[in-house]
């Protein structure tokens, strides 16, 4: 450590850059924050001329150290500036603890953008998705519909659980949606008939065997969908459903007719 400190002290070029970063005016400070030396960057952070525009330019760099970013996060200028907060969270080198503490300050679709950024770490992505899900109960319908078109699989799963057909339909068209989320919807006795019907008529999902069986087993499935699914259901499955306590009498009657049609 002594040798390093002595070497730094004797380096006239570094000393010049340090002094310039600490004392230069606003325009020159933009050049100083491009310096490759962490010491020079720290000096720039102490420059009285430093403002939000300088910090935005600095946070656009992807070669900053965690220590420097931690220092930036502690500046009063950042605390009151939304754009700087977003830039700090989006920098992949920002320490996880710092980034997570700033997530509540982000707007909903800033969280979505963060979860989509190529440089976002798995922990940051997961935290952003959790923050989105936590806000869903108070998110307006229009934003939830937009979210359904863009969201990741975990957020789509939460949106599907709400069961609102106006949100379910755009979810079904999202390529990130997993079959498990659709299965949970069509299996639930709390799902609306409209939401189940949306799945039944969707080109991507209508032919999935597991989803077909789940819809036949659900007492909430619309009768028109139920009848259309019976023809392709295995006879053994229909026999089991005929004695199931979950289905209503009308559905059981339709199952009985289908079995008789097949000669059972």
| pLDDT tens-digit readout, 187-219 | 998 899 999 999 999 999 999 999 999 999 999
Please state the rounded mean pLDDT for residues 174-197.
96
Please state the rounded mean pLDDT for residues 172-186.
97
Instruction: Record the pTM.
Output: 0.81
Which of 107, 63, 50 has the alpha carbon at shortest distance from 82? 107
Evaluate whether 69 touches 93 at the Cβ level (below 8 Å). yes
61-116 pLDDT tens trace = 999 999 999 999 999 999 889 999 999 999 989 998 999 999 999 999 999 999 98
Percent of the chain having pLDDT more than 70? Answer: 96
Distance CA(125)–CA(208), nearest Å, equals 30
pLDDT at 204: 96
30-39 pLDDT tens trace = 999 999 999 9
pLDDT at 10: 53
Residues with Cβ within 8 Å of residue 32, at least 6 apart in sequence: 17, 20, 21, 24, 40, 41, 43, 44, 47
Percent of the chain having pLDDT more than 90? Answer: 74
Evaluate whether 258 touches 231 at the Cβ level (below 8 Å). yes
DSSP 48: T
Distance CA(46)–CA(222), nearest Å, equals 68
């Amino acid at each position: 450590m002594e040798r390093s400190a002595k070497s730094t002290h004797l380096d006239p070029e570094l000393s010049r850059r340090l002094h310039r970063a600490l004392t230069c005016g606003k325009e020159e400070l933009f050049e100083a924050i491009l310096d490759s030396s962490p010491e020079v960057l720290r000096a720039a952070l102490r420059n009285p001329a430093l403002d939000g525009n300088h910090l935005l330019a600095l946070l656009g760099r992807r070669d900053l150290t965690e220590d420097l970013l931690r220092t930036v996060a502690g500046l009063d200028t950042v605390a009151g500036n939304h754009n700087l907060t977003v830039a700090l969270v989006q920098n992949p080198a920002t320490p996880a603890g710092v980034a997570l503490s700033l997530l509540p300050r982000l707007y909903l679709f800033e969280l979505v953008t963060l979860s989509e950024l190529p440089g976002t770490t798995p922990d940051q992505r997961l935290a952003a998705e959790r923050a989105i899900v936590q806000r869903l109960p108070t998110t307006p319908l229009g934003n939830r519909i937009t979210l359904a078109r863009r969201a990741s699989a975990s957020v789509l799963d939460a949106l599907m659980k709400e069961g609102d057909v106006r949100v379910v339909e755009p979810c079904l068209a999202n390529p990130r949606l997993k079959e498990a989320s659709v299965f949970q919807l069509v299996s639930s006795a709390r799902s609306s008939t409209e939401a189940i019907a949306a799945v039944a008529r969707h080109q991507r999902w209508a032919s999935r065997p597991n989803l077909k069986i789940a819809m036949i087993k659900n007492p909430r499935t619309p009768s028109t969908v139920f009848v259309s699914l019976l023809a392709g259901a295995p006879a053994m499955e229909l026999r089991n459903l005929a004695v199931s306590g979950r289905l209503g009498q009308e559905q059981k009657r339709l199952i009985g007719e289908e079995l008789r049609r097949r000669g059972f």
